[in-house]
Amino acid sequence: MNNEVNILSREKVTKQNRVWVRIASACNNRCIFCLDSNAHDGTFTDDEIVKKQIEEWFKSGYDNRVIISWWEASINPKFTDYIKYAKKIWYSRVQTVTNGNMFASEIFCKKVFEAWLEEVTFSFHGHNEKLHDYLVDTPGAFKKSLKWLIYIKKYYPQIIINIDIVVNKINIKFLPEIIKFFMRLWVYEFDILQIIPFWRWFQDNKDKLFYNIEENIKYLQDTWKLSKIPWMYIWTNRFPAEAFEWYEELIQDPRKIKSEVMWESRHFFEPFIESNWEKILEECYGIACDICFLNQYCNDFIKNQSKEKLELDQSCEIIRGEEFPSQVLEKYWKQKEDFINYINLRISEWKKLINIPKCLGWTGIYETYVDIKDNNTIEDYTYKYITNTYRKKSLRCNNCTYYNDCEGIHINFVRTYWFSILKPIN
């Protein structure tokens, strides 16, 4: 599959209207990395609220998928009822993410699959009992869930089965082997999630679970290689883009940031944006920032407040990243060489290119949010950040002469033309 086809195929999936519905504030595992353990109170979401969300978040004219999850949805006595309700609303697919404990029953499996549950994502964080059971802090969990994954594959072959894995310091070295283990069971779709610095794992197990990306890049790269196997689908979640050099198609859609900051975490970020960063994020600001997926989102906003507004004239041309890679392909042509030729042509016409690093365009001048903002709302900043100011450098850029003054290039240029477009100057 060539890069353009791969980009457009993945983009089509991410353009689905995916509705996440939480129906339980409880779980029957005790994962040592759980980011929500402080919120587990053993309750279930009110029936009217769940149905209202399923109804109101459906978008006519879209491919609608509902994921009934969060935290262990299957323990809710009305789990099957909500599957049926979603199909009644005409969702094209109903999915759940589960630790698999409730699926350890022929009666339960028959009930939920007859209700038209069509996709099950099992959470496995190891490829053997010792590793998985330690991480989920539940003896016997691996054998039980594995047995019933195999049962579903055998007796319900129409059900889509995939695996999600939370990557941490304990299992990072085994990540390629975990993937290969489940491939031998004919599972070919994986969601690889980077651990994040919230709640129980960060408070109690930071040193035990956090790992350095650069020091472990080999294990990640060996995992990304497996995405090249025919019929294999690997999706990634909350990893820094720098971890994907040569596998840039696996970089997560930057619009993920929108759901991160404008849903459950909105109460953190809205005062921060609207106050021009004077109201610092008291609940998360500090030692967790360096290992937070949203570190750049916050730091760029703070950094840009002190910069003066750019004065642009007719000699300047602004190169913006667009919202989707397909828009980059349409506007700037399909191959990396075509884009470089576009840049060189503009330079030969004495154009000063804005938002292009010195290794490509020699001005190294960038817009900030201050230059393009309409109003100081979280919606405005988040949209402008995703479509224009979310930029990345390669790990190779660390030794570049201009590293400290360079912001790299917009994430969707990286996703389209890969990090190799950047040529560090030494």
Amino acid at 412: N
Residues paired with 69 in a beta bridge: 22
Structure pTM?
0.88
What is the rounded end-to-end Cα distance, in angstroms, of the chain?
35
What six digits make up the tokens of 380?
A: 């405005």
User: Mind listing the pLDDT tens digit of every residue in the chain (426 residues)?
Assistant: 455 556 666 666 666 788 888 888 888 878 888 766 665 567 888 999 999 999 998 988 888 999 998 788 999 999 999 999 999 999 999 999 999 988 989 999 999 999 999 999 999 999 999 999 999 999 999 999 999 999 999 999 999 999 999 999 999 999 999 999 999 999 999 999 998 876 555 667 778 898 999 999 999 999 999 999 988 999 999 999 999 999 999 999 998 898 888 876 788 888 888 888 777 766 665 667 777 888 899 888 988 877 888 888 889 999 988 888 888 888 887 788 889 999 999 999 999 999 999 999 888 999 999 998 888 899 999 999 999 999 999 999 999 999 999 999 999 999 999 999 999 998
Report pLDDT for 199.
56
CA–CA distance, 132 with 124 (Å, rounded to integer): 7
CA-based max dimension of the chain: 72
Report whether 19 contacts 67 (CB < 8 A). yes
For residue 373, the number of C-alpha atoms closer than 13 Å in the C-beta half-sphere is: 19
Q: How many CB atoms lie within 10 A of CB 271?
A: 16
CB within 8 Å of 377: residues ≥ 6 apart? 273, 274
Q: Report which secondary-structure segment, H or E, holds 193.
A: strand 189-194
What six digits make up the tokens of 325?
A: 């890679």
Q: How many CB atoms lie within 10 A of CB 356?
A: 23
> What radius of gyration do the chain's Cα atoms show?
23
Supply the DSSP symbol for 166: E
CB within 8 Å of 12: residues ≥ 6 apart? none
What separation in angstroms does the CA of 298 have from each of 75, 128, 269, 305, 394? 37, 39, 9, 11, 20
Structural domains present in the chain: 3-252 (3.20.20.70), 269-421 (no CATH)
What separation in angstroms does the CA of 359 have from each of 241, 343, 352? 19, 11, 14
Cα angle 72, 78, 79; round to 5: 45
